[in-house]
Amino acid sequence: MNTEGRNAVLELLKTDRTIEKIVLEKGAQGTLARIFAEARERGVRVQFADKRALDKLSVTGRHQGVIAVTSDYRYAELDEIINGPCGMVILCDGLEDVHNLGSVIRIAECTGADGVIIPANNSASVTEAVIRISAGAANHVKVAKVRSLNGAIDKLKQNGYWLYALEADGESVYGVDFSGKVALVVGGEDSGVRKLTREKCDFVVSLPMRGKVNSLNASVALGIVAYEALKKR
């Protein structure tokens, strides 16, 4: 698996993940020079290449002059996320857009959430693009891939979590308590939270819409709700 982009590689270097090598564009300066110094300090092999070679190696086409070659992404176990120090987790129900998943993981890291839970099917996975979009947050946030999202919800409930589905027809998020352990469920870009998953949730919460467009991007809505939950905890 490759990690591409300056911020993503810098964040990767802060973790204990095994980095096979870092490929840097020749004549590295500025942030690229900083990456080179930190890679040398960690004992990571650095290889220099011209832009054409980096373009061929790149999956996203936006490598920004640096690509880190790592082992495959290691998903966390659900038990590693449950009962974490923050007491807040995020579940993605059918989120198939890599940009949204990357943004969700970045939100989880910024709000201190204990982790992100995604289903094994009908969902984006953690790829090089997701790591880059998350600005490297995927190197710090635990992401669990589960066979059944509803099964994960049942386990969260058994461990004292309150489930909040983010949907357009729920109660205003600004009146919600958010005390105790919190699990926020964000649905797919078009379908939203599935009916059975929604029925398993304790609350349905919404953001007030004052304009002519009646919805927000999934990750944008999640970011607002996550920070509202953080403020009230």
The total number of residues written for the chain in this structure:
233
CA 136 to chain centre: 9
Q: How far apart are CA 54 and CA 48, in angstroms?
A: 9
Span 40-75, pLDDT tens digits: 999 899 999 999 999 999 988 889 999 998 867 889
Among the residue ranges 81-85, 100-104, 209-213, the one predicted with the least confidence is 209-213
Q: How far apart are CA 29 and CA 143, in angstroms?
A: 33
Q: How far apart are CA 19 and CA 145, in angstroms?
A: 23
- Name all domains of the chain by residue range, CATH numbers in brackets: 2-70 (3.30.1330.30), 78-232 (3.40.1280.10)
Range picked from 116-125, 157-166, 168-177, 214-223 for highest mean pLDDT:
157-166
Q: Tell me, what DSSP letter sits at residue 100?
A: H
Q: How far apart are CA 191 and CA 175, in angstroms?
A: 25
**Closest to 102 (Cα-Cα) out of 89, 116, 122:** 116
The model's pTM: 0.80
Report the amino acid identity of residue 104.
Answer: V
Span 5-48, pLDDT tens digits: 999 999 999 988 878 899 999 988 899 999 999 999 998 999 99
Q: Check pLDDT > 80 for residue 98.
A: yes
Q: How far apart are CA 190 and CA 192, in angstroms?
A: 6
Looking at residue 212, its pLDDT comes to: 80
**Closest to 170 (Cα-Cα) out of 225, 132, 102, 89:** 225
Span 180-193, pLDDT tens digits: 999 999 998 778 99
Q: Check pLDDT > 80 for residue 213.
A: no
Q: Check pLDDT > 80 for residue 195.
A: yes
CB count, 10 Å around CB of 177?
11
Looking at residue 67, its pLDDT comes to: 96
